């Protein structure tokens, strides 16, 4: 039988040869998942032998990772904003940059506000769930065009104890008619904003494994910003706010879109790398 330490060493060498970044950390996290322990606990069990089932499953995990399948899909979950979220190939993997979008919204309202919030393109539900968790008297409508994504999102809402606050709906913002007028205080979206040209240059982990429809609009990357901003003029209450996560180099174009649609008080917030990441505007 092979031990924990031997397994980690062999897997690290294999993943390194395949070009996987941080191969040791990857190897340890996957083994910790299989052994149902924390990664650091492995260091107390280096001499523990793996049984046949554990060895077979570990080999399968390593094989999948060597083909650049994202670690989060293999582990089946990811931490976001201090909470656990389940993920699979039907949803985009949450990124730390999106935490800034959540923080920006939370910083713009009172915690005890009773707001109606619309999350367009909810994916795994991270934005809706976080807002529900930290705005306990608000109600969130979370939409997505993918039924499989909504299944994941609903599961995450239940996992984090906010299922009663969120109304999940199947909806395609590109084609569906608007909801009743003046319904929402806040609309938020992290839409597909990668241009079709940039999409072809993405790393294999993104391009080969994460849902294409959640990454690119198959156009110039601005299509969803235009459509959502236009429809938000009907969906938002007067004085309501629209929040977007934007890609690198898009802030000027998205600001122009908001201004054209008569949004005011436009604000931009940078991410941890000093890149413009969140844009908000208020409906006049």
Are the C-beta atoms of residues 141 and 167 closer than 8 Å to each other? yes
Query: In angstroms, rounded to a whole number, what is the distance separating the alpha carbons of residues 19 and 15?
Result: 6
Once rounded to an integer, what is the mean pLDDT over residues 205-224?
A: 94
Are the C-beta atoms of residues 266 and 241 closer than 8 Å to each other? no
Total Cβ atoms within 10 A of residue 252: 12
| 15 lies in some domain | yes
The answer on pLDDT for 47 being more than 90 is: yes
Euclidean distance between the first and the last CA atom of the chain, given in angstroms as a whole number: 69
The CATH code of the domain that includes 14 is: 1.10.8
- Domain region containing 51: 4-67
pLDDT digits (tens, 9 = 90+) for 156-210: 999 999 999 999 999 887 776 555 666 999 999 999 999 999 999 999 889 999 9
Query: In angstroms, rounded to a whole number, what is the distance separating the alpha carbons of residues 167 and 256?
Result: 32
Same domain, 129 and 57: no
Q: What's the domain count of the chain?
A: 2
pLDDT at 180: 61
Same domain, 170 and 39: no
The residue among 41, 67, 93 that closes a domain is 67
Same domain, 119 and 245: yes
Once rounded to an integer, what is the mean pLDDT over residues 31-41?
A: 95
The answer on pLDDT for 222 being more than 90 is: yes
Same domain, 209 and 104: yes
Are the C-beta atoms of residues 170 and 147 closer than 8 Å to each other? yes
The CA-based dihedral angle spanning residues 166, 168, 169, 171, taken in that order and rounded to the nearest 10 degrees: 100
% pLDDT > 70, the chain: 97
pLDDT at 172: 84
Same domain, 32 and 125: no
Same domain, 88 and 199: yes
- Statement: the pTM of the whole predicted model exceeds 0.75: yes
Same domain, 104 and 171: yes
Same domain, 9 and 92: no
pLDDT at 259: 96
């Amino acid at each position: 039988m092979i031990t924990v330490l031997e397994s980690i060493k062999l897997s690290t060498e294999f993943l390194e040869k395949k070009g996987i970044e941080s191969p040791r950390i990857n190897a340890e996290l996957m083994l910790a998942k299989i052994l149902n322990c924390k990664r650091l606990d492995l260091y107390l069990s280096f001499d523990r032998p793996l049984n046949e089932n554990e060895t077979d499953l570990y080999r399968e995990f390593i094989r999948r990772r060597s083909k650049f399948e994202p670690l989060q899909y293999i582990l089946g979950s990811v931490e976001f904003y201090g909470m656990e979220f389940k993920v699979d190939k039907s949803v985009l993997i949450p990124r730390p940059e999106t935490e800034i979008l959540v923080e920006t919204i939370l910083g713009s309202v009172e915690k005890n506000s009773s707001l109606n919030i619309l999350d367009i393109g909810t994916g795994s539900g991270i934005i809706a769930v976080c807002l529900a968790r930290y705005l306990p008297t608000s109600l969130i409508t979370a939409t997505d065009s993918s039924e499989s994504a909504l299944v994941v999102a609903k599961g995450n809402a239940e996992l984090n104890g906010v299922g009663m606050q969120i109304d999940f709906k199947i909806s395609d913002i590109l084609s569906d008619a608007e909801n009743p007028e003046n319904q929402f205080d806040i609309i938020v979206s992290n839409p597909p904003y990668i241009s079709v040209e940039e999409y072809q240059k993405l790393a294999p982990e993104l391009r080969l494994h994460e849902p294409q429809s959640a990454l690119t609009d198959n156009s110039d990357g601005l299509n969803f910003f235009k459509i959502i901003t236009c429809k938000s003029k009907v969906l938002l209450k007067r004085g309501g706010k629209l929040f977007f996560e934007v890609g690198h180099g898009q802030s000027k174009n998205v600001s122009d879109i908001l201004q054209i649609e008569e949004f005011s008080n436009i604000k931009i917030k940078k991410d941890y790398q000093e890149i413009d990441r969140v844009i908000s505007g208020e409906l006049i």
